[in-house]
Chains A and B, each alone.
Chain A
Amino acid sequence: MLELADYTFYFLALVTLVGGIAVITAQNPIYSALWLALTMVSVAGVFVSLDAWFVAGVQLIVYAGAVMVLFVMVIMLFDLRRETNAFSRGMVSGFLKLASAGIFLGLIGGSIYNSAETVFAPPPAELEKTADATKALANTLFTKYIFSFEVIGVLLLVIAIGAVTLSRVQGGTHAKHD
């Protein structure tokens, strides 16, 4: 018998895929960005359906929040409008691209279809409660993966400086006078 959780999944999957299709087909980048936000939110829902509450929260804050704001800001900055030719030109190459993506999807889907039936087991007892799961996650992150964590932190710093350097405008209020 199908339960509520199954219906929830189908609903979320539908929203995610519709959102994804809309992202890549919308003529106006601002619509793409909004559809992407919707997709992000529904992916967060998918995470919830997999009992990953904390990650779902981060997904909402980082993606649907910060990254989306970044995108929208840039689009606003450029004052981009509806594009007349949103897609790359070339019938042959377009067909090739569609075909290769189809082949890719077919290969992966085929391999999933041929794999064994994999019903979820109930979550282990120590991860039953959300707070316990989050604590376990923190324990793993700050013990086993502490080095990776620090490296990622440094990477973010570098990226921040790099992005500023790249988009720095010559002149302006902070121009160097010499």
Chain B
Amino acid sequence: MGSTGHHNHESSPVDLIGANLSFLGLAALLLGGIGYGLRNADATAATFAILLLAPLFGFLFNGLRFRSKNARLSGSVATLAAFASFLCSISLAMKVGAAHGAVSTKFFDWMTIGDLNVAAGFTVDKISALMILVVTGVGTLIHLFSIGYMSHDDRPSKYFAYLNLFLFNMLLLILGDNLLVMFVGWEGVGLCSYLLIGFWFSDSEKAAAGMKAFITNRIGDAGFLLGIFTLFFIFGTVNFAEINQRALDIGAESGWGGPMTLACLFLFIGATGKSAQIPLYVWLPDAMAGPTPVSALIHAATMVTAGVYMIVRLNPLFLAAPNALHVVAVVGAVTAVTAASIGLTQWDIKKVLAYSTVSQLGYMFLACGVGAFGAAMFHLMTHAFFKALMFLGSGSVIHAMNGEQDIRKMGGLKKALPITHGTFLLGWLAIIGMPPFAGFFSKDEILWLSFHSPLGHWGLWLLGVFGAALTAFYMTRLMALTFWGGSRVPNGVHPHESPPSMTVPLIVLGALSVVGGWIGVPHAIGHALHVPHFLEHWFQGAILGIPGLKPASTALEIALMGVSVSIAGLSSVAAFVFYVRRTELPGKVAAKFRGFYDLVHNKYFVDEFYFGKIIDPLVEASRNLWAYVDVSFIDRGTYAVADMVRGVGSVAKTVQNGNMQQYALYVVLGVAATIFLILR
């Protein structure tokens, strides 16, 4: 907890008026949305309207009474708004399931400029249905969790307003049926991310983290915009369905200079910014400065997966640019391993989870890169469950430890926090890929397809398995240092279990972390157990199959599965031994590989590299530009122009000097001129 405040459940009159006005506005807008749908006899449009507008109402409600300290009221409204969206998501997903295709609506024409016609249109297909379910579902749980977590904060209303605004923008991003609407949401979530990372902005380090996230994202956004421009240049449209159709018509393009490859690479730059991949991942670990539920919602479960979602959304386009896909795969795999290795050496509980998120996002991009878009979405979903769970768990731990985040000062919390520990355990099992937990199915599908897909390579598989081993190690280390072993809790801190509003979401997410993977049981296992691969059926038609995928031998698949699971298992055991049984070993190993350890512990000096080689020279160059171009050239020019104007004015002003006889002279001259003109 970054700040301490006192409870204040008394509402000021202003607060009450604001609340009532907001309620009125909320009701009016909700009715408007429903009315719009009913007038057009269009239940779908009404559902869309409520889905999108409910969080916006929540934002307005809490935004208008942002001074209120009533965390319970603010949180309840925000959570209800999120829950309303969740219900609408379920309804829409059922519609999509019944229709076996996309369900769309169009609210109005946004802009029509020449050939460019952009509608404020929204569409739910099988991809986005899964996505909105995850976002609103996990979002609701995290809103609920936040009520307890933020109860002691000074500005809970503001917090919940931002959270609802984030949800609204995320839904725009997901549901927009064209790239521009998506871009609006894309920027909106970036803004909310910035606001929430810097939520405790009085701490300059946290404010700086927010700015770092925002600026890094801007670099990616520039790439994303270039991608949109390129696509419009090629296809003359920004609509997803049309782009995908044209890409299918044109077919795969070879080489590196093709327009579609270029567009895909630009879009991928955008994705690396938003989804924290090499080289733009540096903002995400710092983003942990925000409140922990924010880290769970935005920086683990939803926003950071926007890049993956965007690529999956455009899967026919990316399949038409195989070279771009190779880049995506390699960047994803390398990120997965690099981030995981940094995670080995971090002492901040949230930083470990942050690097873990970067690593897991790398897996998703690896899946995209080998053409396994379904697997990417699958992992996105399971990751949302278990990573949100672990972030909330870490929030619970931090809450219990009065704000302490250093795992060296924890240990043995198993007894004090039984529910947190139990659910965290489920998340841990899921992320290290133990069957039958959620992470096992999704991660294994990625690993298998990166090996088996024609777009894949055994090297990618090797990186993936290595990353999985590292993941198992650092997650076990985290578990061991936090919950197991002897207590290193400082005197005076008495860890306590969190209130139900915080533990209920943990339990729900824990359950999902267990069963979430069962909708995507691989054929190799499912065949024997007669369990179908639900997700594959679900995505049929929405996501293209991998071109040229040969039927595989079940034995090979199971063998590879066994390899990865056993390596991960061994790695966990090793970590358990290191950090619980023989706690002197990590220090010795670190001492033995001092140089390498320092390199990893300092995150490969990437931040220092960026500052030293890019940011500082840029600042220096800007300073020189200011001094030599702006001040001595442009300023001088503008001053010269201004002086000239002033000179002309000082001459011209003598004409109008208040001397009335001179004015009379003008009159005479004017009359003379008039007479001359008449007589001429």
Contacts and interface: CB of A to CB of B under 8 A. Distances in A.
Question: Do the two chains belong together in a single complex?
Answer: yes
Nearest to A93: B662
A13 to B, nearest CB: 23
B377 to A, nearest CB: 87
A57 to B, nearest CB: 32
Given A88-B661, A93-B662, A107 B668 contact: no
B665 A100 contact: yes
Interface string B663-676: 00100110110011
Contacts of A101: 668
B571 to A, nearest CB: 100
Contacts of B665: 93, 96-97, 100
Contacts of B661: 88, 97
B679 A107 contact: yes
A142 interface: no
A86 B671 CA distance: 26
A32 to B, nearest CB: 17
A100 B669 contact: yes
B679 A111 contact: yes
Contacts of B662: 93
A104 B668 contact: yes
Contacts of A100: 665, 668-669, 672
A58 interface: no
A111 B675 contact: yes
Interface in B12-40: none
Interface residues of A, number: 12
Interface string A60-76: 00000000000000000
B136 to A, nearest CB: 77
A90 to B, nearest CB: 9
Interface string A80-123: 00000000100001001100110110011011000000000000
A100 B675 CA distance: 13
Given A88-B661, A93-B662, A107 B669 contact: no
Nearest to A102: B672
Nearest to B666: A100
Nearest to B669: A100
Interface in B631-680: 661-662, 665, 668-669, 671-672, 675-676, 679
A93 B662 CA distance: 8
A101 B672 CA distance: 9
B679 A104 contact: no
Nearest to A110: B679
A110 B672 CA distance: 12
A107 B672 CA distance: 7
Does more than half of chain A's interface fall in helix, strand or loop, or is it mixed? Answer: helix
B596 to A, nearest CB: 91
A104 B662 CA distance: 16
B104 to A, nearest CB: 74
Nearest to B678: A111
A88 B659 CA distance: 11
A84 to B, nearest CB: 18
A107 B669 CA distance: 12
Contacts of B671: 104
Contacts of B676: 107
Nearest to A88: B661
Nearest to B667: A100
Q: Which of B671, B672, B679 has the most chain A CB atoms closer than 10 A to its own CB?
A: B672
B668 A108 contact: no
Interface in A37-55: none
A53 to B, nearest CB: 33
Contacts of A104: 668, 671-672, 675
A39 B669 CA distance: 26
Contacts of B672: 100, 103-104, 107
A93 B665 CA distance: 9
A176 B662 CA distance: 41
Contacts of A107: 672, 675-676, 679
B653 to A, nearest CB: 16
B673 to A, nearest CB: 9
A96 B662 CA distance: 10
A103 to B, nearest CB: 5
A84 B676 CA distance: 38
Contacts of B669: 100
A177 B676 CA distance: 60
Nearest to B679: A111
Nearest to A111: B679
B390 to A, nearest CB: 86
A137 to B, nearest CB: 30
Contacts of A96: 665
Nearest to A105: B672
A97 B669 CA distance: 9
Nearest to A101: B668
Contacts of B675: 104, 107-108, 111
Nearest to A108: B675
Nearest to B661: A88
B86 to A, nearest CB: 78
A107 B676 CA distance: 7
B531 to A, nearest CB: 104
A111 B671 CA distance: 14
Nearest to A103: B672
Interface in B445-488: none
A116 B668 CA distance: 26
A118 to B, nearest CB: 18
Contacts of A111: 675, 679
Contacts of A93: 662, 665
A124 to B, nearest CB: 31
Nearest to B668: A100
A110 B676 CA distance: 11
Contacts of A110: 679
A96 B672 CA distance: 13
A88 B671 CA distance: 22
Nearest to B676: A107
A104 B672 CA distance: 5
A103 B676 CA distance: 10
Interface of A: 88, 93, 96-97, 100-101, 103-104, 107-108, 110-111
15 contacts: A88-B661, A93-B665, A96-B665, A97-B661, A97-B665, A97-B668, A100-B668, A100-B669, A104-B668, A104-B672, A107-B672, A107-B675, A107-B676, A107-B679, A111-B679
Interface of B: 661-662, 665, 668-669, 671-672, 675-676, 679
Given A104-B675, A107-B672, A110-B679, 5 more contacts: A97-B661, A97-B665, A97-B668, A100-B668, A101-B668
Q: What are the 3 tightest A-B residue pairs by CB atom distance, in nearest-first order?
A: A104-B672, A107-B675, A100-B668
